[in-house]
Amino acid sequence: MVEIRYFSILREKLGKNSEEISFEGTVGQLRDLLKERYPEAKEILSSVRIAVNEEYVGDNYKISEDDRVALIPPVSGG
């Protein structure tokens, strides 16, 4: 299982901190899967930074079983 952790506005939009799913594929494929699963968060999911095992990775990175994936939306401050 892959643990997915949601942060900031994405966590609020989905109403959960994390979930575990069975998944094999790339970060880009995971992003597409989550956009289908959570259409209400599609725009946010398009712009999140994704870290696997606490390191930022690109969309071509291959996710393995037991990886921890963090979805971190852009942050603005003032």
Q: What is the mean pLDDT of each run of 10 residues along the chain (78 residues)?
A: 96 96 97 97 95 97 97 77
Question: What's the burial of 60, exposed, middle or buried (CB within 10 Å: 0-12/13-18/19+)?
Answer: exposed
Domain span at residue 51?
Answer: 2-72
CATH number of the domain where residue 50 is located: 3.10.20.30
**DSSP class of 73:** -
Q: Is 8 a domain residue?
A: yes
The answer as to whether 78 is a domain residue is: no
Structural domain tally of the chain?
A: 1
What pLDDT was estimated at residue 56?
97
| Entry pTM | 0.91
Whether residue 19 lies inside any domain: the answer is yes
The Cα 49–Cα 44 span in angstroms is 10
Coil, strand or helix at 13: helix
